[in-house]
Amino acid sequence: MASSCGRKDPRVPVIASLVPFLLLLIVSCSASAKKDGGGGGKGARAQVLFRAGDELAAYRRIASRMARMEKDSNKTIQAIFLVTCPLCLGAISLWRRRLPGSPDGDIIHCVPSHRQPAFDHPKLRGQKPEDEPVVRPVPKGGAAAEEEAAALFPQAWSDGGERCPEGTVPIRRTTAQDVLRADSARRFGMKPRASNARRDSTSSGHEHAVGYVTGDQFYGAKASLNVWSAKVASAAEFSLSQIWVISGSFGNDLNTIEAGWQVSPELYGDSNPRFFTYWTTDAYQETGCYNLHCSGFVQTNNRIAIGAAISPTSVYNGRQFDISLLIWKDPHRGNWWLQLGSGPLVGYWPSFLFTHLGGHANMVQFGGEVVNSRPSGSHTPTQMGSGHFPREGFNRAAYFRNVQVVDGDNSLVPAAALRLVADHPGCYDIRGGYNRAWGNYFYYGGPGRNVHCP
């Protein structure tokens, strides 16, 4: 991995030996681009794709933010090869196995924490991140917090021990290709307007298998969920597993805070499962975004990159790898914090972002969601979770375990009366239970299109 710290790179002889190879790749890719009618440049392509004034203005705002992140960065961690030419991919994959670097091709900028996108917000401009709360949720009765081995889960970009310096936060670079894959520059980094939280009814094009609790005042939620490389059939679809903290009606005033893992080729340009966050205050209409794509979530952690790939992942009939997430409301300052299990904090959503969640949540939801675009008129084969039904159980199906909520005393308690529901059980199903080791748990997911899901 290369950085801008000024140290002599011990790989220079290796890189020098690759110069002829790189030149050949560049020539090949240039020829390929010309053959395909390219050559206008990213800016020209944006001009063509985003003709409307507001779309082009949005693209330019994103480009300006990308340039500022790079300028503000005091360290950059990146892969050696960032070529996307189809003719070059095979050769690049061979060289990547021989060289260090981020295997997912991400570029991570280490940006001073007060220069991250959140501080573009008028209410945060000129400020710095708040101090981390001293008091955090603990199990009811004051028992010691559960130890999670994967509290600080590894990511591909930091496999070699890389981290950002103190006082900075790692921000995954947004590329022009990321924006150009989106249908709209103005809504880049946002979910579709259709409601993606479930309330006993199927959202248009979105299918769920979830457990949820409702009818009380909730101040957070916690669970451990295993991570899979779910297969997504097309760039128009995604597969995710997450925690939702919800308040308001299911009309245009819906407030949600969300975190988990997601496979989204359109958003990230690949099929790696990635750690993500989301928020909205108007049912995904005009507010909120994924990760750090807008002024909202304030990151405080210098070792976790939101939007970066999670590695390793679970293996069918093999080792299971899960992450533990806790979302909770600080009773003193009112901000909603994201924590890795019983370990470090990632950052917070400022309370002023929300209307209903300015007080408390009235629903908490756990589980999986996919987008079903019905290619060729039939159900998508996009997988949820592991792509296997919950009846296959441990080592094969995706799961949530130790499903808990935070009560008004800032205590973690089991998610009592957890209801389980699947929109289309023949496509994606859910089954739950309870035991002393896992507390409240459930298995969920499925393959999508099959003989029972035409």
Catalytic residues: 258, 369
Strand partners, 430: 444
| Phi, psi (degrees; rounded to nearest 5) at 226 | -85, 150
Candidates 361, 369, 189; CA nearest to 267 is: 189
Distance CA 244, CA 212 (A): 9
Q: What does R_g of the chain's alpha carbons equal in angstroms?
A: 22
DSSP helix, strand, coil percent of the chain (3-state; round to 5): 20, 30, 50
Asked if residue 306 lies in contact with residue 293, where contact means CB atoms within 8 angstroms, the answer is: no
**CA 239 to chain CA mean position, Å:** 11
Which residues, 6 or more positions from 169, have their beta carbon under 8 angstroms from its beta carbon?
A: 110, 111, 113, 116, 299, 300, 301, 302, 347
Where do we find the tokens 């409307």? 52
Task: Name beta bridge partners: 348.
Answer: 298, 337
How many Cα atoms are found within 13 Å in the side-chain-facing hemisphere of 227? 24
Could you give the CA distance from residue 146 to residue 341 in angstroms, rounded to a whole number? 8
**Strand ranges of the sheet holding 206-218, from the earlier edge strand across to the other edge:** 289-290, 274-280, 255-263, 239-247, 361-371, 206-218, 419-422
